[in-house]
Structure 1
Amino acid sequence: MTIKLPDVIAIYFAADKSDNAQAISECFTPDAIVIDEGNTYTGRDAIRQWMANASTQYSYSVEPFALSEADGRTVVTSHLVGNFPGSPVDLRYLFLLDGDRIAALEIVP
């Protein structure tokens, strides 16, 4: 199923697919926050490092398949398959957008 993602979210997933941590970090506002697996990453440098670590620790693919809105956030549900514990899994990516950048992202089951 193909869904139409907001531009910056589409760029985020394309950069993730190509393991480009720098491009991912540039999708965010300078003081953005990411919450993933109980950890919080604040600012582009921390977000870039988070993605760089994730892409070296695990091999995975992510395929967004549903899009909705909840509490002012854009919710993208994606199917992840890889060599990480619990694979495969569907995760919800809760994006808070600020103009053409991501101000916050929380990734939850």
Structure 2
Amino acid sequence: MNLPKVVTDLIEAQNTFDSVAYANCFSESGVMLDEGKNHVGRAEIQKMIEESNKKYRSVMKPLEYTENGNLSVLSAECSGTFPGSPIILKFHFEIADEKIQHLKVTD
């Protein structure tokens, strides 16, 4: 599977529970929508991922990736200490200048 470097970096950061590296995949004003909540900016994204890592210890295994211009979708099997693990989630990216501008996570 041929993934952009920023997506590979995001997966690696998630799988090593590195919230700083995860947040650094985003532009300074990047937005992440997860579990119905918007998280805006690297600091807020880092805090959310840090809390999520402590609670769920979730890791990602990429399954499929499609791309259309600066929009792309990654399907990944996510497993951790949450009910229903593992599950398949879709990560809807908007990428510009090798940084994530917007990420929406759906099931």
| CA–CA separation in structure 2 for the residues paired with 1:35 and 1:52 | 15
Root mean square deviation of aligned Cα: 1.3
Length-normalised TM-score, structure 1: 0.92
- Aligned residue for 1:19, secondary structure, equals coil
- Structure 1: any 5+ residue segments left out of the alignment? none
Moved over 6 A (4+): none
Partner of 2:85: 87
Q: How many residues align?
A: 107
Percent identical residues: 25
Pairing 1:1-109 to 2, within 5 Å after superposition = 3-69=1-67, 72-109=70-107
- Aligned residue for 1:86, secondary structure, equals coil
- Aligned residue for 1:5, secondary structure, equals coil
| CA–CA separation in structure 2 for the residues paired with 1:73 and 1:81 | 25
Length-normalised TM-score, structure 2: 0.94
| CA–CA separation in structure 2 for the residues paired with 1:105 and 1:59 | 20
